[in-house]
Chains A and B, each alone.
Chain A
Amino acid sequence: QVQLQESGPGLVKPSETLSLTCTVSGDSIRNYFWSWIRQPPGKGLEWIGDIFISGHTNYKPSLKTRVTISGDTSKNQISLKLTSVTAADTAVYYCSRVHIAEFDTWGQGTLVTVSS
């Protein structure tokens, strides 16, 4: 049974870079697409981007200039970097596994607050 666990700093200062890691257990990250999705407090879900380890990445157009998603097969991890953050980037960040056209497995999520 695949499990996903997000980790990273819970507090990031404005203008700095948000960095999160998703550790995958029970499956190889080589086998699927993986996505990052976020949810501002009290609001809906927003897709950030996805990755297939062979070299494909795809980002939400409005975030594309600030987002990088990468993978580390030796650690079986997916990473997210979001630069120049503002308060609008405060959210719970989830990593998820893509199954064809839906997200079939989710991590528990990690809250990142952008504040000085």
Chain B
Amino acid sequence: EIVLTQSPGTLSLSPGERATLSCRASQSVSSSNLAWYQQKPGQAPRLVIYSASSRATGIPDRFSGSGSGTDFTLTISRLEPEDFAVYYCQHYGSSLWTFGQGTKVDIK
């Protein structure tokens, strides 16, 4: 089973700053099967990035995803107030779905 490890656990930044979130897989995975979600308090997760680098419908272009193999990154180029949330990476493979433990982006 693939284990996804996200870092840091919490990222404290100010609006306008750049956020860089990491997701590391325990073994090499296909980029096609790596996604990122945003979750705000009391809400369901929302798909942000799929196939490692494709933005989901309605996601602004300040969000970008990159990476391959075992190391993947979600970047928010300039944080807007509505971007402060918890972000999860997710992998699908061998009929199993796994999530990272999440990175909280909070206001500094």
Contact = CB atoms under 8 A, between A and B. Distances in A.
Contact of A103 (B1, B90, B100, B101): B90
Interface residues of A, number: 20
A93 to B, nearest CB: 11
Contacts of B47: 102-104
B51 A44 contact: no
B96 A102 contact: no
Contact of B45 (A46, A50, A99, A103): A103
Interface string A57-81: 0101100000000000000000000
Interface of B: 1, 32-35, 37, 43-47, 50-51, 56, 88, 90, 92, 95-102
Interface of A: 35, 44-47, 50, 58, 60-61, 94, 99-104, 106-109
Contacts of A61: 1, 96
Given A44-B88, A94-B44, A101 B35 contact: yes
